[in-house]
Structure 1
Amino acid sequence: MGTRFAQGPETGGLFASAQALTMHRFLLRFALAGVNIFAWIFVFQFFYFLEPDLTYAFVRTTLLYALSQMITCLATPLTARLLRGGARRVLLWGTLFVGAAFVALGTAFEGFWNIVYIGTPIAAFALSMGLYRALYWIPYEVEVSAEGRKKSSIFGEIMIALAPLLGGLFIVGAERGPAWILYIGAGIVLLSIVPIFYMRDMHEKFMWKYRETFVHLFRIENRTLVLGSFLEGLSGAALLFFWPLVVFLIVDSSYGMLGVILSLTFLIAILMRGTVRRFMRRLGLVKSRALNVVFAVTPWLFRIAVGGPLAIILVDSYFYTTTPRRLGVDPFAFEQAADAGSYVDEYTALKEIALALGRIVISFAGVAALLLMSIPAALASIFLIAGLTAAVGVLWLRTQ
């Protein structure tokens, strides 16, 4: 299977690499937290202004999101093989694609494109985000973790949690706010590239060829990890893509209120999660299968019924403080990745592909529901699917 070796000592020691990685991750996550979900909402609003029909705005945005996930799915075996030439370079290119995505979308709202070609930068945004997810492999995470790499400070997490609030207020208060928040986000992303040059490079031995990777995806011995990742991809897309769009509509398309809700929810999660989890451990409830199923399903049922900002904050705070921590989901940055984004071995690529497939399936299921049902019924069906898959995921993983 995959093995790794580091470039020579001239690229810096493990501690310096860990510090550089921490700084890079902070800057990138801050940019994603403040811009990522707003970018998809900009796309949603663009389609609505193009044709004032919420159904078709949802459908077109969802199809664009599915296209992004298809790129991730198809490109992942190729990008994993690029790790043989050095993970640092692949990480750099992945980061560049995030910046390129934000810049491309920003130009769509700056009048640089004729209305006939306005779809070009929007498609470029989706393609770039898909390539980013395929290319963004965090190097030497296993080695750094083995050395006891210090986790992000509470101050850093609070700063990232406040990014949606800052982004929402900027969009509301600044002239040409949507375009400039994208450019600012791109600038922070590009700034996050600087620490990459101070990381120790790692050369990963990805052994599978392109077609062979997809053969392994469907082998029965890989069923547990593939199905588990597929289910997480289904619920992850509902959480990180569909739900923020619904929240945006609930708050009457207010970017400022959306930012307030997201940041307040994240702050509550940071401050309360540890207390809630310690209380559950003290009562011996953490390993309760029945309780974990309840925690997996009930937030999605509550989301179907919410109708205002306070209810949204309560439901999401309940979700983030009670559900088991999933290594692949970073709600602050609206990101989901296999093995927390780090390359462990060839099976990490399988998980990443399965995650993307799950997101693609829920996207097409959502499109079908939107075309066949009313918008509330379609969104409710998406959240019911997410709740069901979350419950199945809990039961499936605990029986393997």
Structure 2
Amino acid sequence: MSTHHHRTHFFRSSKFSFKHLTSTEGLATLTINRMISVLGWSLIGLFYPIFIYEYFHQSLVIVLLYFAITFAVRIPLFWVGAKIFSRIGLVASMIIGEIGATFALFAFYALETGIFSIPPSAFLLFAIIGFAIDSMFYWSPFHVDFIKMSTKGKLGRQISVRYAIQSVISVLAPLISGWIILHHGYEFNFLFGVLITITSIIPLLFLKNTFVQYEFGFWETFQKMFESKFRSMSISMMAYGAESVVGTVIWPLFLFIIFQGDYLNIGSFAAVIIVMSLLLELFIGKETDKFSAVKMLKIGTGVYALGWIGKAIVDTVVGVFAASTFHSIGSILLRTPMDTLMYEQAADCGHYIDEYTTLREIALTIGRAGMMFFLIALTYWFSISSAFLVAAVISIFVLRIARQSFSPVEG
């Protein structure tokens, strides 16, 4: 059973420490941290797979292997991170995670500029380590704090507001990063990402450093994933991770090929799609609170799967635009209810809230790594767009499992 201890605040002696933030103020502060991080990553995210693709001389197999390794090495580290954040607190853990993300982006900056006389492969290793630190220390504590600070009955709206703000940030970021890369190269893009990401630590200094106790052992953690309490959630999150990674890794590469390496057009295209889906984000969150999130999830999964199929069969800019717009609608219909259900179930776990969120992150990462390994074989025989058909099938599978997984978990 996870217990919460009243220990000395990690920054209690600092002039930045606010002891009496309300839940609403705390949630706003946590959201500011997330938005700054999103801004830093949005300058990089769309072009990150493209950078790796170009670095490895447009070898898709090596790129997929790189991402497969990047995800796979994180899987056992989530348990280590959970044990450490049990001792140092959630806020302190998130700060370490942000430092890890900054370190990873700096590694890419150093790789691109050659400012250090060490083998380039070392920088890729440093980046993998940095992203692993970010994953193992940031995400589970973030989810726990977000759940504790959110308002019951308004989760869908609060999540959709967060995503809407992220979308606003993400509108300009691809345009800016595309222009920067076109005129100044990747190094300036990575440098801006480093500077912005490190500032995301500042809002965390205002949050109370709460403590939880992660109780599962290493092997027990993986056994628990497939016990009746967590099995359906774990399987659905594996499928969700496998499907979503196609959008974050394969889709940017597909755009790079369609737009023949024109960075500015790639960024502009991504920005337009985000604008068209922005207002819908808030509407979906509001409706999620009014109606059954499972029903919204069912509708979203169908639209989302059709969007993947559309992406698989188009090969022109106009076709890609139409398919992307349709797919973005499905993404919103799927993502907001999915996260709402996840947070509600995590809250219902009571004392096992940190265990739940850690198992969720492990399952997502297993799905992502597994999909990358699978696509290595698939793209050897078929084109890159075949990955979208696989994602369509998996998204339907997510719905079937989600019906079982989002039921109360006894704590």
Indicate the TM-score class for this superposition, using the shorter chain for normalisation: 0.7 to 0.9
1:262 to 270, 274, 292: 270
Matches of 1:292 and 1:25 in 2, distance apart? 25
CA contact (8 A) 1:304 1:383 kept: yes
Partner of 2:408: none
Distance 1:98 1:65, change over 3 A: same
Segments of 5+ residues of structure 1 without an aligned counterpart are 49-53, 331-337
SS at match of 1:20: helix
CA RMSD of aligned residues (A): 3.2
Alignment partners' CA distance in 1, 2:288 and 2:100: 41
- Aligned: 1:183 with 2:191: yes
For the 8 Å contact 1:299–1:316, the answer to whether it is kept is: yes
- Check the 8 A contact 1:39/1:182 in 2, yes or no: no
CA deviations on 1:51-84 (whole Å, 9 max, x unpaired) are: xxx4xx2111111111111122111011112221
Post-superposition Cα deviations, 1:134-173, rounded to whole Å, max 9, x if no partner, equal: 2113152122103879644966641333211111111112
Alignment of 1:216-235 (within 5 A): 216-235=224-243
Q: In structure 1, what is the equivalent of residue 401 of structure 2? A: 396
Distance in 2 (alpha carbons) for counterparts of 1:100 and 1:78:
19
Q: Which residue is 2:355 aligned to?
A: 346
2:409 corresponds in structure 1 to none
- Aligned equivalents of 1:173 and 1:329: distance in 2? 39
> What is the CA-CA distance between 1:279 and the residue it aligns to?
9.6
> Cα distance 1:311–1:134, how it changes in 2: closer, same or farther (>3 A)?
farther
Are 2:43 and 1:34 equivalent residues in the alignment? yes
Of stretches 1-10 and 116-125 in structure 1, the one that deviates more from structure 2 is: 1-10
In 2, Cα distance between equivalents of 1:19 and 1:399: 32
Q: Is the 8 A contact 1:68 1:126 kept in 2?
A: yes
- Residue 281 to residue 87, structure 1, CA distance change in 2 (3 Å): closer
- State the partner residue of 1:65: 67
Aligned to 1:51: none
The 8 Å contact of residues 379 and 386 in structure 2, kept in 1 or not, is answered as no
Which TM-score applies when normalising by structure 1? 0.84
Q: CA deviation at 1:396?
A: 2.4
Higher deviation after alignment, 132-141 or 143-152: 143-152
Distance 1:321 1:280, change over 3 A: farther
Identity over aligned residues, as a percent?
A: 19
The secondary structure found in structure 2 opposite 1:146 is coil
CA displacement at 1:21 relative to structure 2: 1.5
CA contact (8 A) 2:106 2:194 kept: yes
| 1:325-372 deviation per Cα after TM superposition (whole angstroms, max 9, x unaligned) | 425999xxxxxxx8599993212111111111111111011111233x
2:179 to 166, 169, 174: 169
Following TM superposition, by how much is the alpha carbon of 1:314 offset from its aligned partner in structure 2, in angstroms?
2.3
Distance in structure 2 (CA, Å) of the matches to 1:257 and 1:28: 24
2:142 maps to 1:146 = no
Q: What's 1:44 paired with?
A: 53
How far the C-alpha of 1:40 sits from its partner, in A, is 2.6
User: Within the alignment, does 1:13 sit opposite 2:20 as a pair?
Assistant: yes
Q: Is the 8 A contact 1:64 1:123 kept in 2?
A: no
Partners of 1:142 and 1:285 lie apart in 2 by 17
Structure 2: gaps (5+ residues): 406-411
1:246 corresponding residue in structure 2: 254
Aligned equivalents of 1:197 and 1:66: distance in 2?
A: 34
Query: Equivalents in 1 of 2:27, 2:302: separation in Å?
Result: 38
Native 8 Å contact 1:261 1:312 kept in 2 = no
Indicate if the aligned counterparts of 1:226 and 1:354 stay in contact, CA closer than 8 A.
yes
TM-score (norm 2): 0.82
Q: How far apart are the structure 2 equivalents of 1:145 and 1:298?
A: 33
